[in-house]
């Protein structure tokens, strides 16, 4: 079975935070506000978790979704993946 995109996630200093579908990055960021220092939020890396448990950035995620046949929609940015492209 091919690796797939399974949830939106953020990463800060090696710590990954995600929420289950259909959560979007804004919801993950809102949840993270209670755990991360205020100055950290603008610097977090937004990405996704894969079915292999890996955190990947938006560019890697679009490639994985395409190869996995998840058929991402285009929401105006054909390089990066957004949760709206999948769910």
pLDDT digit string, tens, across residues 59-80: 999 999 999 999 777 777 788 9
Strands across the sheet containing 5-12? 15-18, 5-12, 45-50, 55-57
Task: Determine if the pTM surpasses 0.85.
Answer: yes
Q: Detail the DSSP E strand segments found in the chain.
A: 5-12, 15-18, 45-50, 55-57
Query: How high is the pLDDT of residue 77?
Result: 73
Are 80 and 62 a contacting pair, CB within 8 Å? yes
């Amino acid at each position: 079975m091919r690796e797939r995109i399974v949830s939106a996630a953020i990463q800060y200093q090696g710590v990954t935070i995600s929420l289950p579908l259909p959560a979007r990055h804004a919801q993950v960021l809102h949840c993270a506000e209670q755990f991360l220092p205020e100055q950290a939020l603008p610097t977090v890396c937004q990405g996704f978790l894969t079915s292999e448990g890996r955190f990947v950035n938006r560019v890697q995620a679009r490639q994985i979704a395409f190869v996995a046949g998840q058929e991402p929609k285009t929401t105006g940015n054909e390089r990066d993946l957004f949760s709206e492209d999948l769910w």
